[in-house]
Structure 1
Amino acid sequence: MKHAFSGVFETDSVFKTLALCVLTLGAYLIYKLYRFTSQLNQHTQLKISKLFITTAIVLFVTSSGSLIYSLINYHDLSILKSSIGIHVISSAFDITWIVMVRKRINLLAGTHKGDNLWLNPFMTSIFHVIYMQYKINQGLADKTI
């Protein structure tokens, strides 16, 4: 059986992914989601819209910028309140994007609940692209799948 992840994804260090997600304050998470989405869109019929991706990225950048601005101006509570609203909207898009990528990786791998490479929704919601990369690495290392 041809391996589902071969030619789609690449092995990458899970530790590097974790470190870059933390050091870049989440920007690397968005980059990895974008990379996974691009790779998936080339190899699946169920595409993630470019408009959705662009909207999510713009919201993330806006949210990050407003959060930084509100921290600099912490004495003005109205700025902080408005940045929280933008952050909630951005987070909703990010979570939706993560769920969409998770679903497509599971479809590509042909996995079902309980399978070794199945992306568990709970683990994905906590560890996001770090967990996805771990499972991708696992799938690429296992030549029998």
Structure 2
Amino acid sequence: MKKGLTDIFEVDSVLKTLVLCVLTIGSYLIYKLYRFSSQINEHTELKIPNYFILTTIILFIISLGSLIYGLANIHDLSILKSSIVIHALSSAFDVTWIIMVRNRINLIAGSHKGDKLWLNPFFTSIFHVMYMQHKINQG
């Protein structure tokens, strides 16, 4: 299944993606993963289940909300400690989603380890959607 990455995904600024991810406290990262997943689901047979996407988004919102609430009430550490479990669960779903998108992009590009468009797992784990967008722009 070899298609051009720019046939499926939009070319976008990596710097803009980085800035928006930081300014939105990670919310833009979730948006970009959603866009990548929607584009994958529209243009390929390599579907990412909608229930998984929805569950991950809900967990992210709850996690972010509980973290903000915990930081607003920093004097009561029990609130912040209780948000750790939901944050860990949300993080596990986020990482799984990133891996799913990464693997599908590699399949779509027909790339293998060492290829120009291959998404390296190490760089993907650090730079997430910024690295994915960079590789999409190269495609």
Whether TM exceeds 0.5 here: the answer is: yes
**Structure 1 residue identity aligned to 2:18:** L
1:48 corresponds in structure 2 to: 48
> For 1:7, what is the secondary structure of its paired residue?
helix
- How many angstroms does 1:129 deviate by? 0.2
Displacement of 1:5 after TM fit? 1.5
| Other-structure match for 2:79 | 79
Gaps of 5+ in 2: none
What amino acid sits opposite 1:37 in the alignment? S
Aligned to 1:19: 19
* Aligned counterparts of 1:32 and 1:56: Cα–Cα separation in 2: 13
Helix, strand or coil: the match of 1:126? Answer: helix
Q: CA deviation at 1:19?
A: 0.2
Identify the residue that residue 102 of structure 2 maps to in structure 1. 102
Distance (Å, rounded) in 2 between the aligned partners of 1:110 and 1:91: 28
Asked if 1:62 is matched to 2:57, the reply is no
Letter in 1 for 2:6: S
Kindly provide the amino acid, as one letter, of the partner of residue 34 in structure 2.
Y
Q: Percent identity, aligned pairs only?
A: 72
**How many residue pairs align between the two structures?**
138
Letter in 1 for 2:38: S
The Cα offsets for residues 98-145 of structure 1, whole Å up to 9 and x where unpaired, read as: 000000000000000000000000000000000000000011xxxxxx
Partner of 1:89: 89
Distance 2:75 2:65 in 1: 17
Moved more, 95-104 or 80-89: 80-89
Contact 2:6 2:137 in 1 (8 A): no
TM-score, with normalisation over the residues of structure 1? 0.92
What secondary structure sits across from 1:115 in the alignment? Answer: coil
What are the Cα deviations for residues 33-92 of structure 1, in whole angstroms up to 9, with x where unaligned? 000000001122121111000000000000000000000111112111111111100000
Q: What SS class does the counterpart of residue 6 from structure 1 fall into?
A: helix
Contact 2:6 2:136 in 1 (8 A): no
* 1:142 matched residue in structure 2: none
Structure 1: gaps (5+ residues): 140-145
Return structure 1 stretches of 4+ with deviation > 2 angstroms: none
Deviation at 1:3, TM superposition (A): 5.1
Show the counterpart of 2:8.
8
Report the aligned-residue RMSD.
1.0
Deviation at 1:7, TM superposition (A): 2.4
The amino acid of 1:133's aligned partner reads Q
